[in-house]
């Protein structure tokens, strides 16, 4: 049941913050590699969460 709350909070945060993130992402004042930093952070967080998971959890 814990994962469902986490997914709900993630979807809610994306819904609330997506206009601000998209505005920052497409701003002409940003450096060209800012989207790559965001994607690298997301991939790193995913790898870290997968590494922490117990192999018998599922």
Q: Would you kindly state where each structural domain of the chain is located, as residue ranges?
A: 1-52
Mean pLDDT computed over 26-45:
84
Q: Flag whether pLDDT at 18 surpasses 80.
A: yes
C-alpha span between 46 and 12 (Å, rounded): 19
- The whole-model pTM stands at 0.54
Q: Flag whether pLDDT at 36 surpasses 80.
A: yes
pLDDT value for 57:
58
């Amino acid at each position: 049941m814990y994962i469902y709350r986490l997914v709900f909070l993630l979807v809610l945060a994306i819904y609330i913050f997506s206009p601000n993130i998209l505005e920052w992402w497409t701003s002409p004042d940003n450096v060209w590699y800012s989207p790559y930093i965001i994607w690298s952070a997301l991939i790193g967080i995913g790898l870290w969460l997968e590494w922490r998971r117990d192999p018998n959890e599922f």
